Amino acid sequence: MERASGENYSRLKRQVENNRLHTICTSGNCPNIGECWNAGTATFMILGDICTRACRFCNTKTGKPSPPDYGEPQRLAETIKTLQLKHCVITSVDRDDLPDGGAFFWTEVISTIKQIIPDITVEALIPDFDAKPDCLQMVINARPDVISHNVETVRRLTPVIRTRAKYERSLDVIRYISQNKIVAKSGFMLGLGEREPEIYETMDDLIQAGCRVLTLGQYLKPSPDHMEVVEYIPPERFENYKDAALRKGFEFVESSPLVRSSFHAERHVKA
């Protein structure tokens, strides 16, 4: 794991702070922040840094969010242009307080980025929007190159660690993305108490839903108040899961203890 320091890291940190932006890299306490930021890549988090949900694995703050900041799309696009990024990942907190879950704001962000930087590729790592087709379609119509939505864990553990979100609903989101001819991507954590057959079952469910890119990483407890780690999975088992996922038909698989959903995201556009 690369240390969170260096010239590019400092430059990106300054840009994010000066333009009043948020990243899931810091909000989610990502272990890859040093490597990614020094490589000039980051996952930007729109619609604030306060989530309306309180999932037991996530380090993002929960509570009552502020109203959307409609100056954010322009500031974000200008920041990405200044940083000379070729690929960007955008994610957001859940905004169940908004009638459309923030879907229209998503379209404003993606459209503004593509207008200011026409040759950039964009991954949208979206919430579930309660699987409402009209909300999902708004994001799809903005034509990001990849749309990602994480199932986070196996079916049995979903009610234990996720609030409001449902396993089948997440599969419905992936299915809708795939049916609209956009690269569909998802991921889940290991070490929460899942059993090996459940891992393969989740892979099968995602493949059948049209998912083409998969990420697998070790769950790490972000604070004393979060879900306990049940097991630390050794790297060789992650390699075995990667091999199995590729055999099942995934086109790209990132699988190792420190992998998070945006790790090597620039490669997944090719799926």
- Tell me: pLDDT of 2 over 50: no
Note the pLDDT of residue 222.
87
| Inter-residue contact 130 to 269 (CB < 8 Å) | no
In a domain, 217, yes or no: yes
In a domain, 102, yes or no: yes
Composition of the chain by helix, strand, coil, percent to 5: 40, 15, 45
In a domain, 2, yes or no: no
Q: What is the pLDDT of residues 45-84, one digit of tens each?
A: 999 989 999 999 998 899 999 999 999 999 999 988 988 8
In a domain, 57, yes or no: yes
Q: What is the pLDDT of residues 121-154, one digit of tens each?
A: 999 999 999 999 999 999 999 999 999 999 999 9
Q: What domain count does the chain have?
A: 1
CA distance 77 to 153: 32
In a domain, 186, yes or no: yes
The stretch 211-225 carries a mean pLDDT of: 95
H-state helical runs in 117-216: 133-141, 158-161, 167-179, 196-209
Note the pLDDT of residue 4.
45
Contacts of 77 (CB under 8 A, 6+ apart): 109, 112, 113, 115, 116, 117
CA distance 214 to 249: 10
In a domain, 1, yes or no: no
Q: Name which residue leads in pLDDT, 89 or 3.
A: 89
- Tell me: pLDDT of 201 over 90: yes
Confidence band (pLDDT; 50, 70, 90) for 19? low
Lowest mean per-residue pLDDT among 12-16, 23-27, 173-177, 238-242 = 23-27
Note the pLDDT of residue 1.
45
- Tell me: pLDDT of 25 over 90: no
CA distance 29 to 195: 26
> Would you say the pTM of this structure is higher than 0.95?
no
The stretch 81-107 carries a mean pLDDT of: 93
Helix/strand/coil for 146: strand
Spell out the SS3 assignment of 94-131. Answer: CCCCCCCCCHHHHHHHHHHHHHHCCCCEEEEECCCHHH
In a domain, 103, yes or no: yes
Beta pairing class for 22-23 and 43-46: antiparallel
What are the beta bridge partners of residue 214? 186, 253
- Tell me: pLDDT of 102 over 60: yes
| Inter-residue contact 75 to 21 (CB < 8 Å) | yes
In a domain, 85, yes or no: yes
Q: What is the pLDDT of residues 222-265, one digit of tens each?
A: 889 899 999 999 999 999 999 999 999 999 999 999 998 888 88
Q: Which domain holds residue 183?
A: 7-270
* Cα 146 → chain centroid: 11
Note the pLDDT of residue 43.
82
Q: Name which residue leads in pLDDT, 33 or 101.
A: 101
Give me the CATH number covering residue 237: 3.20.20.70
Taking the alpha carbons of 255, 256, 262, 266 in that order, is the dihedral positive or negative? negative
- Tell me: pLDDT of 184 over 50: yes
What are the beta bridge partners of residue 92? 46
